[in-house]
Amino acid sequence: MVTRDADVTPVGSDVRTYQVRTYGCQMNVHDSERLAGLLETAGYVRAADGTDADVVVFNTCAVRENADNKLYGNLSHLAPRRAANPDMQIAVGGCLAQKDREAVLRKAPWVDVVFGTHNIGSLPVLLERARHNRVAQVEIADALREFPSTLPATRESAYAAWVSVSVGCNNTCTFCIVPSLRGKEVDRRPGDVLAEVTALAEQGVLEVTLLGQNVNAYGVSFADTDLPRDRGAFAQLLRACGTVEGLERVRFTSPHPAEFTDDVIEAMAETSNVCPTLHMPLQSGSDRILRAMRRSYRAERYLGIIDRVRAAIPHAAITTDIIVGFPGETEDDFAATLEVVERARFASAFTFQYSKRPGTPAAELPDQLPKHVVAERYQRLIELQERISLEENQAQVGRRVELLVAAGEGRKDTSTARMSGRARDGRLVHFAPGGRRVRPGDVVVTTVTAAAPHHLMADAALIEHRRTRAGDAHEAGRKVTTNVGLGMPSVGVPPAQPVTVGCGL
């Protein structure tokens, strides 16, 4: 295993440019910020939009069935350029690289570097070794060697940031390949998480999203044989985020219903900067299918959590993930899912047609459904959720909303003369700036005037416009960076540490 050298400098005197192409979940997006930070620390420069980069890095996903085709199709498009320019380099990392390993080079022999989810810090060294030796480098670690958050990061946004609280997952959902690619759950110490959150807030970041494959299981790896697990660790972490000066919004994703406890609801309701939004995967409304998925909760428990969240936070926007067409799903099972969706009144849902992934238990189950059956059910689910989303959004018309202005959220903003932002509950709002010089990263208050299933519109005059340091940074093109220099969490209960950021954990 090659150790990371953050100070490695690319061979030759010319500055080399890079591009990172990201597929998959928020964890991958955040890992790509780490890859960018590593490359820039090593002397590379991000390629300008629309230009060819000297180094192209693919950070891949393996969750969906078409992930392989998408990657290898994109790699084939780069093959002629790689053949014409022997100094160009291509690297493949992430979950698909962890899964396929040496197979990447067999399918795409023009690739220079293959690295996994557990050793993203090795990328600069591997690129230089491949360039110097003119031999492709494959390095896949089978266990986490350093927590990704110890690596330098160049953030994509000046106003919103991802913060990992854990990596890996201890669940055994039969449809999911993530545990085999990301490994068992490893948690960061609360003080380390808060140090990173504080560092971001000090640079003007207004919003952080706490990330984990099973975020509300946070603290499980602190337990040992002598002390029980502290199931209140995540709620305590949320409350501690409320003490970080300058931090206006806290979100988290994704919790698991089986781990969801009432103290988290209380922390959400009582911590002023925790946003009134919850993304909690349902996957299926059928108890029989949930058992087959090894999801350790049932539909009524799930709905009970939602009821308690709404009792404590009446205007909370709740979103979810749903899989249609899991092996053996009957029409009655699917009807149960539709019933839960109707009762839950999700603000929106990420819906997926079941994707058979080699290496998962579900891939070997009998009664795999025909694609046309899955597609027909999927369409019915979409139609139901679209109706509910529209009704829920129409209920927002006339409501005053505070928006964190965003960049790139509204594809039609130029033609409509609107800008876009996210309300505190996570809803996307396209608003009229009314001639004011509003910037991404600023905060505005306005009134919702119209609704569609996937967004709101606010064409009323702005009630308030607050210029922020995040807006200043975005306007100036300044990148937010973090390199808190914190080590891997050790196994067992963390030792007592001096409180440096006002955390009582």
Rounded Cα distance, 391 and 456, in Å: 12
Mark the binding-site residues for [4Fe-4S] cluster, compressed into ranges: 25, 61, 95, 169, 173, 176
d(Cα 93, Cα 33) in Å, to the nearest integer? 13
Q: Cβ neighbours of residue 420 under 8 Å, at least 6 residues apart? A: 405, 406, 409, 410, 413, 428, 429, 430, 431
Q: Strand, coil or helix: what is 180?
A: helix
Q: What are the binding residues?
A: 25, 61, 95, 169, 173, 176
Read off the amino acid at residue 411.
R
Distance CA 248, CA 264 (A): 19
Which residues are within 8 A (CB) of 367 and not within 5 positions of it... i.e. 6 or more apart? 327, 328
Q: Which two tokens stand for residue 471?
A: 């807006």
Sequence letter at residue 36: A
User: Left, alpha or beta for 288 (phi > 0: left; psi -120 to 50: alpha)?
Assistant: alpha
**Residues forming a β-bridge with 154:** 481
Q: Are 206 and 404 a contacting pair, CB within 8 Å?
A: yes
Cα 40 to Cα 416: distance, rounded to the nearest angstrom: 37
- Structural tokens at position 380: 């019915």
Query: Which 3 state secondary structure label does DSSP give 135?
Result: coil
Closest by CA to 452, choosing from 436, 429, 432, is: 429
Instruction: Decide if 195 contacts 59 (C-beta within 8 A).
Output: no
Q: φ and ψ at 378, to 5 degrees?
A: -60, -40
